[in-house]
């Protein structure tokens, strides 16, 4: 089964009118719509100014990945003889991307930059710099920049250079002749990544303000010095975005790690997808670049400012203005449920522990692993590794565990996009000290998040497991909303051990009794629950679905939800990103509501609630690592697990679902035409309410 990209149709089973069908929303357009919601954060007066700038940089980063992966795949799909994606679809998505980027630069230039200047944070162009500032910039250029630049004049023996993905470059058209009397008109300057993109001027030259200059402005002001005896009559910054998805045929390679390591060396030079130039770039130069990169006119993006707004994170980091950032928030340690200094193993023998990040600290997870490493009774540790970061206290602890003689097994997902190199490095370090490292199952990414500890307690072995909706990354755990679950439950821990056994040995095992895993059971289980809800609705019993996920693009799940809604079930979907199900279509999705919440933290937890009757046994609540996408259901190793304790289940509902259904400040609602409307500009923010709850209670 493949994911529908173009906005296909799903037959609506049980529709009031015979033959009624539902046209799905375009997935690529839905991704761009999400970035519109992120960009809207940059326009909010209640968001601190530097954070508004940060949202602009986040949009740039998101769009880079969109072009590198999603749009690159979309273009490839449009060329397939069996495709449902047409050239018209591609042009429509391209036009939407152009409009979004134009709006991004308008917000940057007309709203955020003037507001920063009014508060004394200014980015000075060459024309705005006074003589003393120009003199300082000239020295900086001569001492720090020029030695690293190497202009290349193009001629038959100096062909167009290799331009790396997302690198900064300049193109110049030169007057006059070169040192050898020839008219090589075009020169290219590649700007090394090691150079800072934002430079702060000394306070003595800043006239009481915080003054900055952009590297692009510095180079532009001194281009003439790069070509003695000639004049740069026209020029432009440019940046090319390339297809960056690593294409490795796992069935054909004998060493996946080595194949990926080789692929990483060429990733920066994949097929060109997008070309960015400044708005003033002459047509002649932009056309020359399009020809060099083999791109159509639609792939050209003229921007009113620096070609990579994402690098302005350097300004945010350098600025001395805490009042222009979000107030610091320190995640709470669950003192009552986990008293400081108490053994986590002892605590878990009494009851399970649920952690809601980032409102609660990720430190108990680190302590769980540290205690396992230091405890002589712990015999084995097993962990999945997806996105841990280049620096990771958890990975260092695993290495220390091996040194202390414990059995350590790590399932390292080498194909975690844009984290491949970090994961390869960790895999090599772990192997070097003697850990057992496996790379999951050929053709299936291991996206499940599990950490299993086996401890000797008297004459028996006791297992403890941590399950999570998010990654083992303490840094992102302060930025993403996720739920972690620590337990000594025999059923869940036995199932977790079976998952690791299967990932290592690839043996055929019985389906776990408590964990619900993909690609084997999860998809069918979700469809079965949705069907249960449909049946209950037809019988007039309470019928309810609330699902909080990052994306909803799987046609089978969409089909099932449509049928359940038509049967009378009430369905609320909290989908942060791409959603292909259009709600509110008369006769088809009247009972389905879709909302997205975009706030200070990135919504990342997956929480699934089903009710199909009045009894206490007629409901189910799951936490999961999987989004409702075909790739997650059928192409990845994922886990979902039930929350069976009534009090804990109610806590998840009260914290992860109810506040988001009542959010009137950060929430957006999706309409049938694929457009989103912000619910309001005042009222309740789910994230802020949870922050206040944990700041005041501190458990």
pLDDT for position 183 = 67
567 Cβ contact partners less than 8 Å away, ≥ 6 residues apart: 14, 534, 535, 537, 538, 543
Residues of the chain with CATH 3.30.870.10: 344-514
Q: What is the DSSP letter of 414?
A: T
CB 552 within 8 A of CB 30: no
Q: What pLDDT score does 9 carry?
A: 58
pLDDT tens digits, one per residue of 600-617: 999 999 999 999 999 889
Cα–Cα distance for residue pair 466/488, rounded to 1 Å: 9
For residue range 604-652, what is the model confidence (pLDDT) as tens digits?
Answer: 999 999 999 998 899 999 999 999 999 999 999 999 999 999 999 999 9
3-state SS class at 531: helix
Over residues 7-36, the mean pLDDT reads: 73
What is the C-alpha to C-alpha distance for residues 67 and 53, in angstroms, rounded to an integer? 22
Q: Report pLDDT digits (tens) over 235-258.
A: 999 999 999 876 655 544 445 656
Q: State residue 179's pLDDT score.
A: 58
Query: What is the distance between the alpha carbons of residues 424 and 437, in angstroms, rounded to a whole number?
Result: 11
* pLDDT at residue number 176: 67
pLDDT band at 21 (very low <50, low <70, confident <90, very high): confident
Q: What is the layout of strands, in order, in the sheet containing 198-200?
A: 121-123, 210-214, 198-200
Reply yes or no on whether 447 is catalytic.
yes
Residues 6+ apart with CB under 8 A from 460: none
Q: What is the mean pLDDT of residues 670-698?
A: 91
Per-residue pLDDT, averaged over 292-315, amounts to 96
Model confidence at 418: pLDDT above 70: no
**Statement: residue 507 has pLDDT above 80:** no
Give the separation between CA 629 and CA 445, rounded to whole angstroms.
14
The CATH fold assigned to 344-514 is: Endonuclease; Chain A (3.30.870)
pLDDT per residue over 373-417, tens digit each? Answer: 999 999 999 999 988 888 899 999 999 999 999 999 999 887 666
**Which residue among 222, 357, 447, 604 is the active-site one?**
447
Beta partners for residue 454, in sequence order: 380, 463
For residues 540-549, average pLDDT: 98
Residue 590 pLDDT greater than 80, yes or no: yes
Q: pLDDT at position 443, please? A: 78
- Note the pLDDT of residue 18: 41
For residue range 325-375, list pLDDT tens digits in order.
999 999 999 988 999 889 999 999 999 999 999 999 999 999 999 999 999
Beta bridge partners of 571: 545, 592
Percent of the chain with pLDDT over 70: 91
Structure confidence at residue 268 (pLDDT):
75
Average pLDDT over residues 199-222: 95
| Widest pairwise Cα distance in the chain | 90
CA distance 556 to 8: 12
Query: In which band, very low, low, confident or very high, does the pLDDT at 553 lie, cut at 50, 70 and 90?
Result: very high
Asked if residue 406 lies in contact with residue 435, where contact means CB atoms within 8 angstroms, the answer is no
Residues of the chain with CATH 3.30.1840.10: 125-325
User: 182 pLDDT exceeds 80?
Assistant: no
Q: Any idea which of 144-153, 262-271, 274-283, 611-620 has the lowest mean pLDDT?
A: 262-271
Average pLDDT over residues 440-462: 91
At residue 29, the pLDDT reads: 96
| Topology adopted by domain 125-325 | polyphosphate kinase like (3.30.1840)
Lowest mean pLDDT among 9-18, 57-66, 377-386: 9-18
Q: What's the mean pLDDT when you consider all of the chain?
A: 91
What integer pLDDT is reported at residue 84 of this predicted model? 82
Please check the confidence at residue 178 and state whether its pLDDT lies above 80. no
| DSSP SS3 for 162 | coil
């Amino acid at each position: 089964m493949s994911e529908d990209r173009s906005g296909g149709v799903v037959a609506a089973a049980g529709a009031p009118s015979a033959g009624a069908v539902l046209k799905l929303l375009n997935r690529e357009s839905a991704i761009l719509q999400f970035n519109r919601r992120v960009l809207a954060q940059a326009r909010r007066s209640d968001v601190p100014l530097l954070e508004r700038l940060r949202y602009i940089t986040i949009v740039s980063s998101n769009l880079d990945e969109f072009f590198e992966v999603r749009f690159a795949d979309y273009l490839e799909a449009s060329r397939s003889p069996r495709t449902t994606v047409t050239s018209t679809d591609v042009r429509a998505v391209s036009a939407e991307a152009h409009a979004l980027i134009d709006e991004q630069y308008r917000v940057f230039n007309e709203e955020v930059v003037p507001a920063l200047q009014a508060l004394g944070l200014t980015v000075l162009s060459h024309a705005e710099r006074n003589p003393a500032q120009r003199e300082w910039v000239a020295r900086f250029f001569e001492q720090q920049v020029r030695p690293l630049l190497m202009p290349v004049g193009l001629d038959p023996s100096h062909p167009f250079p290799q331009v790396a993905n997302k690198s900064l470059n300049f193109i110049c058209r030169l007057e006059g002749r070169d040192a050898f009397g020839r008219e090589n008109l075009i020169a290219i300057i590649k700007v090394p990544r090691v150079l800072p993109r934002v430079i702060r001027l000394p306070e003595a030259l800043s006239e009481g303000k915080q003054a900055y200059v952009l590297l692009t402005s510095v180079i532009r002001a001194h281009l003439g010095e790069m070509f003695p005896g000639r004049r740069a009559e026209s020029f432009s910054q440019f940046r090319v975005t390339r297809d960056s998805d690593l294409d490795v045929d796992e069935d054909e390679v004998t060493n996946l790690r080595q194949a990926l390591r080789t692929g990483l060396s060429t990733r920066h030079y994949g097929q060109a997808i997008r070309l960015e130039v400044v708005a003033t770039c002459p047509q002649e130069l932009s056309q020359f670049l399009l020809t060099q990169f083999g791109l159509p006119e639609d792939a050209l993006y003229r921007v009113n400012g620096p070609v990579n707004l994402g690098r302005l994170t350097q300004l945010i980091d350098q600025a001395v203005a805490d009042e222009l950032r979000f107030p610091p928030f320190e995640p709470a340690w669950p003192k009552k449920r986990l008293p400081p200094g108490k053994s986590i193993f002892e605590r878990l023998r009494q009851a399970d522990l649920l952690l809601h990040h980032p409102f609660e600290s990720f430190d108990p997870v680190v302590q769980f692993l540290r205690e396992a490493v230091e405890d002589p009774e712990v015999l084995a540790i097993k962990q999945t590794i997806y996105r841990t970061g280049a620096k990771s206290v958890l990975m260092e602890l695993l290495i220390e565990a091996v040194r202390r003689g414990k059995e350590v097994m790590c399932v390292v997902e080498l194909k975690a996009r844009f984290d491949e190199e970090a994961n390869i490095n960790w895999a090599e370090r772990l192997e070097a000290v003697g850990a057992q490292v496996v790379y999951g199952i050929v053709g299936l990414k291991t996206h499940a998040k599990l950490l299993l500890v086996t401890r000797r307690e008297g004459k028996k072995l006791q297992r403890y497991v941590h399950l999570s909706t998010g990654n083992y990354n303490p840094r992102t755990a302060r930025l993403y909303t996720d739920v972690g679950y620590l337990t000594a439950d025999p059923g869940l821990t036995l199932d977790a051990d079976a998952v690791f056994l299967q990932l290592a040995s690839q043996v055929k095992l019985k389906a776990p009794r408590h964990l619900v895993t993909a690609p084997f059971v999860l998809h069918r289980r979700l469809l079965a629950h949705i069907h249960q809800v449909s049946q209950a609705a037809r019988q007039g019993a309470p019928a309810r679905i609330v699902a909080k996920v990052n994306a909803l693009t799987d046609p089978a799940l969409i089909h099932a939800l449509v049928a359940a809604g038509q049967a009378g079930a009430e369905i609320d979907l909290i989908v942060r990103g791409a959603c292909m199900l259009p709600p509110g279509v008369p006769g088809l999705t009247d009972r389905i509501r879709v909302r997205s919440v975009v706030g200070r933290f990135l919504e990342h937890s997956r929480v699934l609630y089903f009710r199909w009757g009045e009894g206490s046994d007629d409901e189910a609540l799951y936490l999961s690592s999987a989004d409702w996408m075909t790739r997650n259901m059928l192409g990845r190793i994922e886990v979902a697990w039930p929350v069976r304790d009534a009090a804990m289940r109610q806590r998840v509902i009260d914290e992860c679902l109810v506040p988001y259904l009542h959010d009137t400040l950060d929430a957006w609602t999706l309409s049938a035409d694929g457009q989103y409307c912000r619910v309001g500009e005042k009222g309740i923010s789910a994230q802020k309410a949870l922050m206040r709850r944990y700041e005041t209670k501190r458990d």
